[in-house]
Structure 1
Amino acid sequence: MRFLDVLGTLARIFTMLGAVALAVMMICTTYDVIARAAFGQPLHGVVDITEIMVLGVALLGLPEVCLRDEQIRVDILDDLVPATLLKGLKLLGVTATITFLALLLANIVRPMLDAYRFGDIKADTGFPVYLSFALIFICLLAAALTTLTGLARLVGANRSERP
């Protein structure tokens, strides 16, 4: 199995886990509202659960978005600049994205290790905070890898178009 196929499968699994996180968040919040209103018995830890699930929803879809190159973009310049300049701008954008993801990755390690070292936990559920940081790290790493494959495709396309 090729590396790109494995990466695509992992990205798809991450996206499915993000969908599960969304469902869990919706079910817990709905249950909390109904149980609080009807029985005066809210779901204990629903705020912590929602925080963790929002993190999952936001980040677990990122690798597949980067792999498919479906980020939100504004294409105002696409028709105004020459094709070679546009390719250069796309290359610059992908390089900037990889740089930004690398900076985020480098800056998430220390808080993750500190949360682990000091035993930080969520107040209501006791969920270890370092696991939230680990989720962020894994998702950003996967997004960086999928963006690198996009960069490789872009560079390969530029090489094949040269005379």
Structure 2
Amino acid sequence: MTQAEFLHIVTPFKDKVFRLAKRLLVSTEEAEDATQEVLIKLWKNKGKIQGYNNVEAFSMTMTKNYCYDKLKSKQAQNLKIVHSNYEDKQTGLQKQVELHDSMNWVEKIIEGLPEQQRLIIQLRDIEAYDFDEIGKMLDMKPTAIRVALSRARKTIREQLTNTHNYGIK
């Protein structure tokens, strides 16, 4: 397997590996190290990669196991949990239920949007693509994307506000 073939296989999911490592290890530096270690292990076993049904799933499992091992090891004693906004406050059960309910409502509202607006919301607000990339994907001008995004956000905001203010009708 050449380096180009390896990169073609690994590039689509390397950011997901990093995000999982960051969630488990908290520290950005530790997550970068974990990602690098997983990719090195994949490179060392590049001959076996073709034998895996799902390389992405295998990599995520490797990442999870590596992070758990890292947390269990003596090195974990020296890890710093870096939270700039950390306070020892538990979110109340009522607040958790309200947040979960709000997220469910937002999902339902997005599902009710026209397909184009739904796609634009997904690509811009969830996947964080810029307007030019979305324009290429959907064959639209950035101005039209901004208009559709603004309308979608307005619809979501209005329906969510109505739900919270007046209840379900």
Q: Under TM normalisation by the shorter chain, which class is it?
A: under 0.3
Greater Rg over alpha carbons, structure: 2
Q: TM (normalized to structure 2)?
A: 0.24
